[in-house]
Structure 1
């Protein structure tokens, strides 16, 4: 297998990890506005992701760095063409980090409300725009003979891309609600399950339309198979949620998101950014890649450090695996310096 193909697959795996892990982070962030009835419940929700949310974002950083090093032409065209959406995502993620880190630094309710708004905004915007961006990459964008993006932001707001944004929004909400049900006890667990079933039904309809639309454009066995797996595992997740088997439900939504990622990247290959103007002008794994020497060095580095990173993150999830509830939240929480606001 050529190294360009190896790195395309590795980048797909990195995106898969990011969407699966950060997906429930975004979901929980959005749910703080609809599930939490008081300050204690809001802290419970934030505590479910407190120990892991910053580690989940590492997958995005590594995916971006790998794209820059392995496929510099892809990186350059992507960031120039998607400049405004990616800037909005970056601003939203920064606001989300500020809200999570500094929410508990001051006791005033007005301060906490502003942080809550930042958390919700910083979760909704990336949840929608990542779907829009990925759908546009798969569908193709205006790229000229010089491999440069020649369209506008309005070109990115097409029906297929907007549907992709709605799919990621609703699927992440479902994924997050199931994660909350998996990690909590008491009334908030029951409400999370009910919310997951309601929004999951909407997400299932949108996702089926998106899967059929995507597979119909490509019409390959891999894309159809991955789409079928995505639909089946998402249905399994909803059934497991109704049966109060949150572990299986969370596994189902995670597998569904992973299968959709396989479908999207399978539909894309061997292109990395198809041109909607002329297929001959598309960026591919060959014409957008770095030199073989660069890819060889990157492969050795990835082979050494990837298992370490994955092992450490798996260990952190194991350490913080227990359920929590409002009874774990003290009535008076002292504000201590040097602690993460989302972890209390």
Structure 2
């Protein structure tokens, strides 16, 4: 196996890690409006991901940086051709991070409500747009002989891509509902289980439709096996959460995310961006990669740094492993009228 093949696999692993972790992260953000009934419950949901959301985004930064260094032509074509949707994702991630930090800076209801709405929309939009982007990458876009995208924004909003966006949105929201059931106590935990069952069934239908379409378009036997694994993991996750086995359900919903991303990358290889204008103009792991020397240096650096990243992120999840509920939310007494003294 050549180094450019190795780095294609490593980039696939980075994207898989990002969608596994940021997937439930986005899902919890969406659930702040779908599941939470009041401000206290929204605070519970936000607190379940509060210690980890920024660490989850490290995987995105690493995946983008690795793509830039290992496959510069892929990076250039992708980020120039998909400029507007990727810019919208970036703006959402920035606003979402600010919302987490600024929401509790002032006690006024309007202030907190506006930031909570920002968390909802800036979780929902990236969850949808990542599916649109990856569906287009796998299906192929209009790339000319100069490795430039010649289409427009409307071309990216095709039926296959929109179905991909709905699939990732549903999958991440289901993953987030299972995570919520795993991390909370009380009534919100019970309702998260019930919602997860309904979401899981809808997600399975969307995933089978989208991945089946992708399989018919460009798949082979290995991608078909990944498709089957994703569907089975989703159904098993629904069964586990219905039985109250949140730990198993979260493991299985995560496996569904992993199998889904694996299926997309298996369908894509050896291309990194297929051309719909002429297959000879497609970007591949060989014609879009950096030099052998660059890939060698990157391999050594990745071997040294990756274990450290995994250790500190695993430690973070271990430290904040306990469940929380509304009883753990402190009452904000600022700007409240003092109780009259009793004499």
TM range (shorter): over 0.9
Kindly indicate whether residue 227 of structure 2 is the aligned counterpart of residue 227 of structure 1: yes
- Counterpart residue number, 1:297: 297
Structure 1: how far apart are the matches of 2:328 and 2:193?
20
- Counterpart residue number, 1:244: 244
Change (3 A) 1:63 1:333: farther
Question: Contact 1:70–1:289 at 8 Å: present in 2 too?
Answer: yes
Change (3 A) 1:37 1:219: closer
Structure 1: how far apart are the matches of 2:329 and 2:88?
34
Change (3 A) 1:308 1:328: same
Unaligned runs of 5+ in 1: 336-344
1:332 CA drift (Å): 2.7
Unaligned runs of 5+ in 2: 336-343
Question: Contact 2:107–2:332 at 8 Å: present in 1 too?
Answer: no
- Counterpart residue number, 1:18: 18
- Counterpart residue number, 2:322: 322
- Once the two structures are overlaid, the 10-residue window that deviates more, 27-36 or 237-246, is 27-36
Change (3 A) 1:334 1:53: farther
Higher relative contact order (CA 8 A, sep 6+): 1
Name segments (4+ residues, structure 1) moved above 6 Å: none
Could you give the per-residue CA deviations for residues 267-314 of structure 1, whole angstroms, max 9, x where no partner exists?
001100000110000001111111111110000000000011011111
Structure 1: how far apart are the matches of 2:56 and 2:219?
33
Could you give the per-residue CA deviations for residues 221-273 of structure 1, whole angstroms, max 9, x where no partner exists?
11000000000011110000100000011111100000011100000011000
Kindly indicate whether residue 6 of structure 2 is the aligned counterpart of residue 6 of structure 1: yes
Question: Contact 2:27–2:123 at 8 Å: present in 1 too?
Answer: yes
Question: Contact 1:98–1:118 at 8 Å: present in 2 too?
Answer: no
- Counterpart residue number, 2:159: 159
Structure 2: how far apart are the matches of 1:187 and 1:130?
32
Structure 2: how far apart are the matches of 1:91 and 1:280?
35
- Alignment TM-score, normalising by the size of structure 1: 0.96
Structure 2: how far apart are the matches of 1:233 and 1:34?
24
- Counterpart residue number, 1:169: 169
- Counterpart residue number, 1:143: 143
1:334 CA drift (Å): 7.0
SS of the aligned residue for 1:257 comes to: helix
> Aligned-residue CA RMSD in angstroms?
1.1
1:154 CA drift (Å): 0.9
Could you give the per-residue CA deviations for residues 52-95 of structure 1, whole angstroms, max 9, x where no partner exists?
00000000000000000000000000011000000111111111
Change (3 A) 1:35 1:279: same
Question: Contact 1:183–1:322 at 8 Å: present in 2 too?
Answer: yes
SS of the aligned residue for 1:112 comes to: helix
- Corresponding pairs, count: 335
Structure 1: how far apart are the matches of 2:121 and 2:13?
27
